[in-house]
């Protein structure tokens, strides 16, 4: 889908909010609608699909190349430009500070999630970028896993994964890589530490590559040395839950039902209190975006929506297991993008 087509889709939604225009200030949404990745830019989308792009001189050349069909204004004061175009405007209130709101003045109509709702369904070019990001993620794991051994630190493993992803073509890691060993595995978003891996540990690695602005997300848990019985049991449980969640993913599925498919497996085994986060989230130009899978989430999945499925069981003081894939909803079921084995690897 062209940037002009994306802007037209957003413009078509403006009438529902009684707004003649939308001021887009969230950098990710500006990029989605124009292609310009900038720390200082705003796009004004009018009801007929036309509009303008405001940025500073640092990004002028890039903006002219990316969006030749949109009026470009080199100006830091967006409020002055805004008043020259429209008297009332919808704004991304959730991405705007009080100071920015006051500076704009005029008749501002708060609109939350309008561009994000358009971003949810991806075109095949976006899915291909995610497919490449996931392929790099898979390959980085295969190159690093052999180095995970007693005596190496969580930070070392994280650095190796990050280096390999960039060596393979990623722009950068999609987010701060998580490596959690032993008891640290009970912390879902543990930051890699100087703790050394020990024989008998489970090690959870949550990481992904960024390619053309699109974020991959994968988690695998491995055993260092022969796992204890409880470790095998918990791993098998999480694997069963992840499988159930993946199999529930298809266009038309309720977000809460997909979550329940996995969550019920864990709850039936007596671990309901050890899985307290949502089952998954959308991925794209952001690592966490619509839709979200959880017990209280409303709505149904549409076709061509990339999401993660990532159940886990976390046992304080002992460790944890999480298994996560990135996949795409299709009418006949999920397309799996992260292909690394989910068998328990013993290293």
Q: Tell me: do 151 and 268 sit in the same domain.
A: yes
- 341 within domain boundaries: no
Domain CATH code at residue 178: 3.90.230.10
Q: Compute the distance between CA of residue 61 and CA of residue 66 in angstroms, rounded to an integer.
A: 9
| CB 70 within 8 Å of CB 34 | yes
Overall average pLDDT of the 228-257 stretch: 98
From the number of C-beta atoms within 10 Å of its C-beta (0-12, 13-18, 19+), residue 159 rates as middle
Q: Tell me: do 139 and 193 sit in the same domain.
A: yes
Q: Tell me: do 25 and 164 sit in the same domain.
A: no
- 342 within domain boundaries: no
Q: Tell me: do 93 and 235 sit in the same domain.
A: no
- 344 within domain boundaries: no
Q: Tell me: do 253 and 300 sit in the same domain.
A: yes
- 284 within domain boundaries: yes
Q: What is the pLDDT of residue 219?
A: 99
Q: Tell me: do 113 and 87 sit in the same domain.
A: yes
- 304 within domain boundaries: yes
Domains: count for the chain: 2
∠ CA 163-168-173, nearest 5°, is 50
Q: Compute the distance between CA of residue 190 and CA of residue 10 in angstroms, rounded to an integer.
A: 38
| pLDDT > 80? residue 76 | no
| CB 112 within 8 Å of CB 296 | no
∠ CA 179-185-187, nearest 5°, is 95
Please state the separation of Cα 61 from the chain's center in Å: 29
Angstrom CA distances, 326 to 22, 115, 135, 209, 282, stand at 32, 22, 11, 12, 9
List b or e across 57-95, with b for residues whose CB sees 16 or more CB atoms inside 10 angstroms: eebeeebeebbeebebbeeeebbebbeeebeebbbbeeb
- 345 within domain boundaries: no
Domain CATH code at residue 26: 3.40.350.10
Q: How much is the pTM?
A: 0.94
Q: Tell me: do 106 and 251 sit in the same domain.
A: no
Q: Percent of the chain scored above 90 by pLDDT?
A: 76
Q: Which of 80, 95, 119 is the last residue of a domain?
A: 119
Q: Tell me: do 61 and 35 sit in the same domain.
A: yes
Q: Which of 70, 101, 119 is the last residue of a domain?
A: 119
Q: Tell me: do 52 and 192 sit in the same domain.
A: no
Q: Tell me: do 135 and 256 sit in the same domain.
A: yes
Q: What is the pLDDT of residue 78?
A: 65
- 343 within domain boundaries: no
Q: Tell me: do 111 and 131 sit in the same domain.
A: no
Mean pLDDT score across all residues of the chain: 94
List b or e across 202-221, with b for residues whose CB sees 16 or more CB atoms inside 10 angstroms: bbbbbbbbbbebbbbbbbbb
* 337, two tokens: 């993008």
Query: pLDDT, tens digit, for every residue of 296-340?
Result: 999 999 999 999 999 999 999 999 999 999 999 999 999 999 999
Query: pLDDT, tens digit, for every residue of 173-217?
Result: 999 999 999 999 999 999 999 999 999 999 999 999 999 999 999
Q: What is the pLDDT of residue 96?
A: 77
Q: Which of 119, 149, 184 is the last residue of a domain?
A: 119
| pLDDT > 90? residue 72 | no
Residue 133 lies in domain: 124-336
Q: Tell me: do 233 and 133 sit in the same domain.
A: yes
Start-to-end Cα distance in the chain: 44
- 270 within domain boundaries: yes
């Amino acid at each position: 889908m062209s940037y002009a087509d994306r802007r037209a889709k957003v413009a078509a939604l403006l009438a529902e909010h009684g707004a003649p225009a939308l001021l887009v200030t969230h950098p990710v949404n500006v990029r989605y609608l124009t292609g310009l990745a900038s720390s200082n830019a705003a796009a004004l989308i009018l009801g007929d699909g036309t509009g303008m792009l405001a940025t500073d001189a640092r990004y002028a050349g890039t903006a002219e190349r990316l969006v030749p069909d949109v009026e470009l204004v080199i100006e830091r004061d967006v409020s002055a430009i805004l008043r020259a175009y429209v008297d009332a405007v919808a704004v991304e209130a959730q991405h705007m500070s009080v100071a920015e709101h006051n500076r704009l003045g005029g008749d501002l109509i708060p609109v939350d999630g309008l561009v994000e709702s358009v971003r949810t369904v991806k075109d095949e070019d976006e899915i291909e970028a995610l497919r490449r990001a996931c392929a790099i993620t898979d390959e980085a794991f295969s190159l690093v896993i052999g180095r995970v051994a007693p005596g190496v630190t969580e930070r070392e493993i994280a650095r190796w994964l990050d280096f390999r992803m960039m060596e393979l073509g990623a722009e950068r890691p999609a987010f701060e890589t998580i490596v959690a060993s032993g008891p640290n595995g009970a912390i879902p978003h543990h930051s890699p530490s100087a703790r050394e891996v020990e024989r008998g540990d489970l090690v959870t690695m949550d990481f992904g590559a960024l390619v053309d602005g699109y974020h991959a997300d994968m988690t695998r848990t491995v055993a260092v040395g022969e796992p204890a019985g409880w470790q095998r049991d918990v791993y098998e449980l999480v694997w069963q839950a992840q499988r159930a969640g993946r199999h529930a993913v298809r266009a038309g599925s309720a977000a809460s039902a997909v979550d329940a498919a996995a969550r019920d497996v864990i709850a039936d085994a007596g671990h309901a209190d050890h899985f307290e986060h949502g089952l998954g989230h959308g991925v794209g130009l952001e690592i966490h975006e619509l839709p979200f899978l959880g017990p209280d989430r409303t709505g149904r999945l549409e076709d061509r929506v990339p999401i993660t499925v990532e159940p886990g069981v976390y046992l304080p003081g002992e460790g944890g297991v999480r298994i996560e894939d990135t996949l795409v909803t299709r009418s006949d079921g999920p397309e799996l993008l992260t292909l690394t084995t989910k068998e328990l690897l013993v290293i």
